[in-house]
Amino acid sequence: MSDRLPAAIATTAERPNRGRPTAQPGVTEGTAMNLPPERDMRAAVAARDAAYDGRFYYGVVTTGVFCRPSCAARAARPENLRFFADHDSARAAGFRACKRCKPTLAASQRDILVRTARYIEAHADETLTLARLGSHAGLSASRLQRSFRKAFGVSPKAYQDACRLRQFKAALRGGDAVTGAIFSAGFGSTSRIYGESSRNIGMTPAAYRSGGAGETIAWACRPTALGPLMMAATVRGVCFVQFGDDADDLARQLQAEFPKAEIVRSAAADSPQLDAWLGALDRHISDGQPRPDLPLDLRGTAFQVRVWRFLLSVGEGEVVSYGEVAAAIERPQAVRAVASACAANRIGVLIPCHRVLRSDGTIGGYRWGAERKRTLLDNERLRRAGRK
């Protein structure tokens, strides 16, 4: 018995072929179950939703071609669409590959990666090692890591974290208690959702109150698409990322934040790491490259650090309200305090306080100006849409 089932869904009553391809009639129930619901496929084609690429293909009776859901070709009339689970089935029904979206190009690997992403979504609350994912995909762990990041712009771990965050937010909106929502989303403990397991972050309030006494803080500054940007770091990690009018203005701000520390300008020869970090952040802001995952030296009150740690779990293209943050850290009445903690954040972009909006969805305040906040959010939405 063949392991390939007929894969076309007839979406309208069949008409005489008249030389054009048509869908195969008599689709089995098992085949239909391998495809998304027809209404979802039609919506994906109408929206050119790349998230459905690899999950199905559609043919157009009037042109005789089949395409990916994200194809940018002129939209076809709904009654002329036919749907297929793979490109071989589309060809068997008489359709040829679209020259614009090239639906057969690297289809096997793309389908493997899409199936892996669906597997992560279905098992987001479990421990998913690269070895387990590689075994499921039929790839080595290292190859899966490279291919997944190249295809989707994030690692499998980051993708799983984003899925967990969506589950967590959905549980909160559904009325679950915060602790229950955290565990049901697969974080395992309240500390996991605040990012403690993956970053070297946080200092004691006493260390912060000391004004940096006895410490050396190196800084570097460069222009970016959003204006002059300064980054400063201690031996523990980045402690200061801020926009300003110019380097002198930013240097004064840094000195005011850490009045008792020794502030030194970084020269690439002496501190190449800091310059590399700043360069990576500049490429993220100015050129849309991935946001660098750098060690952070957080300094603030216990409440502020708790807010900032939670913000580290909010993925690119995602937004939360001040109320959702308050609920997530088990302080649902502290909405104003959350807003104040966001305003006090001195590590811009790396701690993404720009992803926090008012409850009505409006931009709200931002320490470095609403226009910068809007630009950061718009750019992140575009990058996320481009990866789908």
Active site residues: 67, 353
Q: What angle do CA 13, 17, 20 make, to 5 degrees?
A: 115
Distance CA 74, CA 37 (A): 23
Closest CA to 201 of 237, 155, 244: 237
Tell me the Ramachandran region of residue 302: left when phi exceeds 0, alpha when psi lies from -120 to 50, beta otherwise: alpha
Distance CA 114, CA 108 (A): 10
Could you give the 3-state DSSP secondary structure of residue 242?
A: strand
**Kind plus residue range of the DSSP H or E element containing 38:** helix 38-47
Distance CA 59, CA 21 (A): 9
Phi, psi for 224 (deg, rounded to 5): -135, 180
In 123-214, which residue ranges form alpha helices assigned H by DSSP? 130-137, 141-152, 156-173, 178-184, 190-193, 205-209
Helices (H) and strands (E) in the chain, counts: 16, 10
Q: Give the max Cα distance, the chain.
A: 85
Tell me the Ramachandran region of residue 45: left when phi exceeds 0, alpha when psi lies from -120 to 50, beta otherwise: alpha
Distance CA 283, CA 275 (A): 12
**Kind plus residue range of the DSSP H or E element containing 265:** strand 262-265
According to DSSP, the residues that pair with 264 across neighbouring strands are 218
Distance CA 365, CA 345 (A): 12
**Taking the alpha carbons of 59, 60, 64, 66 in that order, is the dihedral positive or negative?**
negative
Residue 248, exposed/middle/buried by CB under 10 A (0-12, 13-18, 19+)? exposed
